[in-house]
């Protein structure tokens, strides 16, 4: 469904953020991308929808090759990739409804969107999604009145209303407390399952990733060091990804979780 072919990103400063990354994500698979800060996780996600221009290599979404697209064609393909951000990236001064509907901008002409005259079907879908994430009563609130967890739910709605085939999720829980983090991760994974969406989730919290995903990719210095199921993350593997550290506590925590769950 998504295939990266020798994807390279070299920044102007000369830092090589991605070194010929090869990755294939089948339909409906949720995978976690772990790795230390600066490993290139954010860059990888942003190179897929070209918020960051890759230096070389190819990205295939279905049959379409994204890196060579013109700006108009790229916009059409971006509609198929919903993105969820670390700091929510809601437009703070717009209402929850406007934020959710902004996910339809790729489908609606400029004047309709400018005058907020979205098609009724879009509005219906927005209400359905808000109801699904438990925020239907918040539709008229301004985004900056919401709590972190609520904002991230709005961010999820904005991504889903695009009717995407793939979710690109960049540190969805990094600004949230542990409980809300789990709720958000659970919500994202449930929604992916309901809709058969593939997702790439950047995440710092290894234990949280292991709890929810089917496949884990470990990135280090812009290269893939690990690709396997969550229980393949042994202390040795974590050491190759992150460097030397006592990993027993991290892994035990997960086993406790699973036992109690």
Partner 1 sequence: MPVQDLKGQKVWQRRTGRESLFHWVLWLTGVAVFAYCWQQISASTTWFFVWDAPRIASDIWTRATPPRWEYITQLGKPIWDTLNIATLGTIISLILAVPVAFLAARNTTPSALFVRPIALLIIVSTRSINSLIWALLLIAIIGPGVFAGVVAIAIRSIGFCAKLLYEAIEEIDETQVEAITATGASRWQVMAYGIVPQILPAFAGIAVFRWDINIRESTVLGLVGAGGIGLQLSSSLNVLAWPQVALILLVILAAVVISEWVSAKVRGAII
> Which stretches of the chain bind partner 1, using CB under 8 A?
49, 51, 75-79, 81-83, 85, 87, 89-94, 98, 102-107, 110, 113-114, 155, 158, 162, 168
3-state secondary structure 203-253: CCCHHHHHHHCCEEEEEECCEEEEEECHHHCCHHHHHHHHCCCCCHHHHHH
Q: Nearer to partner 1 by C-beta: 168 or 254? A: 168
Rounded to a whole number of angstroms, the minimum distance from the CB of residue 83 to partner 1 is: 4
Q: How far is the CB of 254 from partner 1 (least distance, A)?
A: 31
**Closer to partner 1 at the Cβ: 98 or 125?**
98
Please name the residues in contact with 13: beta carbons below 8 A apart, sequence gap of 6 or more. none
250 neighbors 48 (Cβ within 8 angstroms): no
Minimum CB distance to partner 1 smaller for 77 or for 254: 77
> What is the smallest separation between the CB atom of 142 and partner 1, expressed in angstroms?
10
Q: CB-wise, 59 or 224, nearer to partner 1?
A: 59
List the structure tokens of 22: 């090869």
Give yes or no for a contact between 218 and 226, defined as CB atoms under 8 angstroms apart: yes
Q: Are 65 and 25 in contact (CB under 8 A)?
A: no
The minimum distance between CB 25 and partner 1, in angstroms, equals 18
- By beta-carbon proximity to partner 1, the closer residue of 103 and 222 is 103
Residue 150 beta carbon to partner 1: minimum distance, rounded to whole angstroms: 16
Q: Is residue 222 left, alpha or beta, with left meaning phi > 0 and alpha meaning psi from -120 to 50?
A: left
CB contact set of 159 (below 8 Å; sequence gap of 6+): 82, 83, 84, 103, 167
């Amino acid at each position: 469904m998504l295939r990266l072919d020798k994807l390279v990103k070299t920044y102007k400063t000369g830092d090589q953020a991605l070194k010929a990354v090869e990755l294939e994500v089948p339909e409906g698979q949720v995978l976690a991308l772990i790795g230390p800060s600066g490993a290139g996780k954010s860059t990888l996600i942003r190179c897929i929808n070209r918020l960051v221009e890759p230096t070389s290599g190819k990205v295939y979404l279905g049959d379409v090759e994204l890196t060579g697209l013109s700006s108009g064609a790229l916009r059409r393909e971006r509609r198929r990739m919903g993105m969820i951000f670390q700091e929510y990236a809601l437009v703070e001064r717009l209402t929850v409804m406007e934020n959710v509907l902004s996910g339809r901008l790729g489908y609606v002409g400029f004047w309709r969107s400018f005058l907020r005259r979205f098609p009724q079907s879009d509005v219906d879908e927005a209400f359905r999604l808000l109801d699904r994430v438990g925020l239907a009563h918040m539709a008229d609130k301004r985004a900056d009145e919401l709590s972190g967890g609520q904002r991230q739910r709005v961010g999820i709605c904005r991504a889903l209303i695009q009717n995407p085939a793939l979710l690109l999720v960049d540190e969805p829980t990094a600004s949230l407390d542990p409980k809300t983090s789990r709720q958000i991760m659970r919500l994202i994974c449930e929604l992916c399952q309901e809709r058969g969406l593939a997702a790439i989730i950047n995440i710092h919290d290894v234990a949280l990733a292991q709890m929810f995903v089917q496949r884990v990719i470990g990135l280090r210095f812009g290269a893939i060091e690990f690709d396997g199921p969550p229980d393949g993350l042994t202390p040795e593997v974590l050491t190759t990804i992150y460097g030397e550290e006592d990993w027993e506590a991290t892994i035990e925590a997960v086993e406790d979780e699973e036992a109690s769950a």
